[in-house]
Amino acid sequence: MNLNTAEWIIAIILVVTLFVFLVLAIILLAKIISLTKDAKQVIATSQQIADKADDVAGNIKDMTSIGGVVKTFASSYINNKAAAANESVRKSSTSSKSSTSSTKTTKSSKATK
């Protein structure tokens, strides 16, 4: 089976075309893989931004709704009252300790007389 010149030319053109397509396919595949890695990073970043936006929207909703305003007011009122109660307890315990020590000092001075 001998091939004439026209058949050899067609065979060589087909082989070169196949080679070019294979090289281009490998390059395209490598680019697509790197593009998917970049897309995953973009998706992760956009998910973080969406979560933050959701948190901000929730905060704004809490601040503007009646329930949110009442909740904020009540929690600040309770925190202020708790802080005042803690302060008064601390002052009373400090004053009772100092009065106890002065009573002990008075008793010991009377005992020595």
What pTM value is reported for the model? 0.40
Q: Both ends of the chain: CA-CA distance in Å?
A: 140
Q: Are 63 and 69 in contact (CB under 8 A)?
A: yes
Please, which pLDDT band fits residue 89 given cuts at 50, 70 and 90? confident
Is the pLDDT reported for residue 21 higher than 80?
Answer: yes
Cα–Cα distance for residue pair 52/46, rounded to 1 Å: 10
CA distances from 57 to 53, 65, 67, 76 (A): 6, 12, 15, 21
Cα–Cα distance for residue pair 49/52, rounded to 1 Å: 5
What percentage of the chain carries pLDDT values higher than 70? 75
Q: What is the pLDDT of residue 22?
A: 98
- Which residues, including other chains, have CB under 8 Å from residue 3's CB and lie 6 or more apart? 11
pLDDT tens digits, 34-78:
999 999 999 999 999 988 888 888 777 766 666 666 777 778 888
